[in-house]
């Protein structure tokens, strides 16, 4: 279970999150919706430990462990995965090499045995097929020259291979056409399970038609200002965020 | 000319100081004021054929400046030459002078290794390479020397019309390590690729200096140098391309890109294009930066430690130069050699 209690986060001394409290029980999918500038991406970065996103107050615990004490790689080994809104291009490092290096680094950190090359290849082939990705693309440098949709699929592929337990999806729907969105959502839904928690960060309700949340929270001006069931997303789609922006200010 | 008087280890008057413009960033005189005592003769290694042993071919070996066999090779046809420059001296100095000539139509793979096994030595290497028309020489240089050595390598390359010259230097630095390449480019379809990389740590210093003179029309030069410095290391790149009057149709491109991975590392870069002809295409690019923070975070988010992420990004940055080596066997040897040292 993910517990965020009274979290305050500043970026370059500017407070962005101002007392955010949120619980995501194991096996649940929670959506975070909110207007631009509410702090949605900051929440993803704070959970994954990005340098420069300083927690000045409050706590984050994942499965009872304090995350704020851990560096990004240690958090990854504990199962934290952030799917980036804009996945980064890594010139010179083939996607396959990168994912295998990451998987083995996580396994080493957990004291598990590393994955062998044939085992890994088999897993990659199955996962890329499910996401309808061209296997040859994975021999190319990670994300370099990939389209927006290909980059997002690459994120989901990494998710499938790294098997994280806390999945944070930051605007995964941005830049996807409807077919790509369906494939990506299928990939995410395949990862739903009783042991996994997911935070789906999105501006629009559209993604939530495909990845159905157990709960929806509204993030405005750095705090959760409303929570409800899936119907809250539809209400936001119809009414917009104005009401919450006014309320938070 | 890079330097007016040629360096002679017996004559301190020829040791350039930083007051000589071409040696501004590599002040040899700071470390070397007196002529070093001559290095003694040392036994020729019986086991092992150097870093490029696996690629076979014939060896040209020098130990402490002394040629084990011939110091000159004329090549017709296809030939792999392993030029091994072995230093087993401590506190002494030695010079090598060697010559490789590729006759018309020849193809030479020249694998040059500077194998420094001693300490605090001074090594000077003078290499002349002549490439006749329609011949091709690929020169790959691996430099592995102790941190307290001083070494200067000066190559003069004559590229005749229609010839091809490919060069890749991989330097790991020393107290002062300088590799000069001076190319007389006779153009008329001749094609020169002049690449290099330096990966420096500690207090090491490496200097890749080159001057290419396009002496006639329709020649090509492509140059890519990349470097990484850590600690208090210092990397120097001086690249000069001169396009003489009448050398129309010249196509010359030069790039130097470097990363500084520490607070006290230093890079000095001096790219120069001097153009006297009218109808030419010339370009140069020079960047010095640091590793991309968002890439480092992305990689750590996927589980790589900060150290692993930095190492992977750094190698990926440098390997672009290695990837340009056309000979597959040589490329793989260089890649493995570099991975073991960066």
Closest Cα in chain A, distance from residue B301 (Å):
5
Contacts of B312 in chain A (CB under 8 A): 93, 98, 101
Mean pLDDT of the B203-220 span: 98
Residues of chain A with pLDDT under 70: 246-249
* A90/B317 CB distance under 8 A: no
Contacts of B299 in chain A (CB under 8 A): 90, 98, 102
Nearest CB neighbour to A82, from listed B295, B301, B312: B301
Could you tell me which of A61, A56, A66 has the C-alpha nearest to residue A10?
Answer: A56
Closest Cα in chain A, distance from residue B253 (Å):
22
pLDDT at residue B2 in the model: 53
Tokens representing B229? Answer: 């410095």
Radius of gyration of chain A, Cα coordinates, nearest whole angstrom: 18
Residues of chain B contacting A, Cβ within 8 Å? 292-295, 297-306, 308, 312-313, 315-317, 319-320
* A101/B313 CB distance under 8 A: no
DSSP-derived 3-state class of residue A164: coil
Contacts of A103 in chain B (CB under 8 A): 303
Residue with tokens 């409807």: A178
Contact status, residue A95 vs residue A141, Cβ threshold 8 Å: yes
- Considering the entire predicted model, what is its pTM? 0.87
* A106/B303 CB distance under 8 A: yes
Residues A181-201: b if buried by 16+ CB within 10 A, e if exposed: bebbbebbeebeeeebbbbbb
- E-only strand ranges, B232-318: 234-243, 251-260, 266-275, 281-289
Could you tell me which of A161, A175, A166 has the C-alpha nearest to residue A203?
Answer: A175
pLDDT at residue A246 in the model: 65
B282 bridge partner residues: B252
The third-level CATH classification (topology) of the domain covering A2-248 is Rossmann fold (3.40.50)
pLDDT tens-place string over residues B280-339 = 999 999 999 999 999 999 999 999 999 999 999 999 999 999 999 999 999 999 999 998
Closest Cα in chain B, distance from residue A54 (Å):
15
Residues of chain A contacting B, Cβ within 8 Å? 48-51, 71-73, 75-77, 81-82, 84, 87-93, 98-99, 101-103, 105-106, 109, 141, 158, 162
* ipTM of predicted assembly, 2 dp: 0.96
**Segments making up each domain of chain A, as ranges:** 2-248
Nearest CB neighbour to A91, from listed B297, B300, B316: B316
pLDDT tens-place string over residues A182-217 = 998 999 999 999 999 999 999 888 899 999 999 999
* B298/A93 CB distance under 8 A: no
Q: State chain A's maximal CA–CA distance in angstroms.
A: 56
Q: CA separation (Å) from B180 to A78, B151, B283, B337? A: 51, 11, 21, 22
Closest Cα in chain A, distance from residue B325 (Å):
16
Residue A118 φ/ψ, nearest 5 degrees: -65, -40
Kind plus residue range of the DSSP H or E element containing B337: helix B328-339
Distance CA B316, CA A143 (A): 14
Closest Cα in chain A, distance from residue B261 (Å):
18
């Amino acid at each position: 279970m993910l517990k965020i209690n009274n979290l305050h986060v500043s970026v370059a001394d500017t407070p962005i999150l101002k007392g955010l409290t949120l619980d995501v029980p194991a096996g649940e999918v929670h959506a975070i919706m909110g207007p631009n500038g509410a702090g949605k991406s900051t929440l993803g970065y704070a959970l994954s430990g990005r340098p420069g996103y300083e927690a000045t107050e409050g706590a984050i615990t994942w499965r009872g462990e304090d995350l704020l004490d851990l560096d990004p790689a240690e958090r990854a080994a504990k199962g934290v995965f952030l799917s980036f809104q804009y996945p980064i291009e890594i010139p010179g490092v083939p996607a396959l090499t990168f994912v295998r290096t990451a998987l083995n680094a996580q396994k080493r950190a957990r004291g598990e045995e590393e994955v062998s090359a044939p085992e890994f290849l088999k897993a990659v082939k199955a996962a890329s097929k499910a996401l309808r990705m061209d296997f040859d693309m994975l021999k190319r440098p990670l994300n370099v020259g990939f389209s927006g949709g290909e980059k997002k699929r690459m994120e989901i592929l990494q998710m499938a291979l790294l098997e994280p337990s806390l999945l944070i999806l930051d605007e995964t729907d941005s830049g996807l056409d409807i077919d790509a969105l369906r494939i990506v959502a299928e990939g995410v839904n395949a990862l739903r399970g009783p042991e996994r928690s997911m935070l789906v960060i999105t501006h629009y309700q559209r993604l939530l038609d495909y990845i159905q949340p157990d709960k929806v929270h509204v993030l405005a001006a750095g705090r959760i200002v409303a929570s409800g069931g899936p119907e809250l997303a539809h209400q936001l789609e119809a009414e917009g965020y104005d009401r919450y922006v006014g309320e938070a200010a | 000319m890079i330097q007016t008087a040629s360096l002679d280890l017996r004559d301190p008057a020829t040791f350039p100081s930083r007051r000589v413009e071409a040696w501004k960033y590599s002040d040899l005189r700071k470390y070397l004021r007196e002529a070093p005592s001559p290095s003694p003769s040392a036994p020729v290694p019986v086991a092992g054929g150097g870093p490029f042993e696996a690629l076979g071919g014939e060896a040209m070996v020098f130990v402490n400046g002394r040629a084990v066999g011939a110091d000159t090779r004329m090549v017709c046809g296809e030939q792999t030459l392993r030029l091994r420059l072995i230093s087993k001296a401590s506190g002494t100095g030695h010079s090598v002078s060697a010559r490789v000539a590729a006759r018309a139509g020849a193809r030479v793979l020249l694998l040059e290794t500077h194998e420094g096994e001693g300490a605090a030595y001074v090594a000077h290497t003078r290499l002349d390479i002549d490439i006749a028309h329609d011949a091709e020489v690929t020169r790959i240089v691996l430099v592995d020397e102790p941190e307290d050595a001083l070494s200067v390598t000066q190559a003069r390359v004559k590229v005749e019309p229609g010839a091809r010259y490919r060069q890749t230097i991989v330097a790991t630095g020393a107290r002062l390590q300088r590799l000069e390449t001076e190319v007389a480019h006779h153009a008329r379809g001749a094609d020169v690729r002049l690449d290099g990389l330096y990966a420096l740590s500690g207090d090491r210093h490496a200097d890749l200096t080159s001057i290419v003179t396009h002496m006639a029309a329709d020649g090509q030069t492509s140059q890519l140098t990349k470097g990484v410095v850590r600690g208090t290391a210092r990397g120097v790149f001086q690249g000069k391309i001169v396009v003489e009057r009448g050398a129309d149709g010249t196509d010359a491109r030069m790039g130097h890109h470097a990363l500084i991975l520490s607070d006290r590392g230093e890079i000095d870069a001096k790219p120069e294009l001097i153009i006297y002809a009218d109808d030419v295409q010339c370009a140069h690019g020079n960047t010095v930066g640091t590793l991309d923070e968002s890439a480092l975070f992305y990689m750590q988010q996927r589980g790589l430690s900060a150290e692993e992420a930095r190492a992977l990004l750094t190698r990926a940055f440098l390997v672009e130069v290695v990837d340009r080596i056309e000979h597959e066997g040589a490329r793989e040897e260089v890649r493995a050699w570099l991975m073991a040292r960066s």
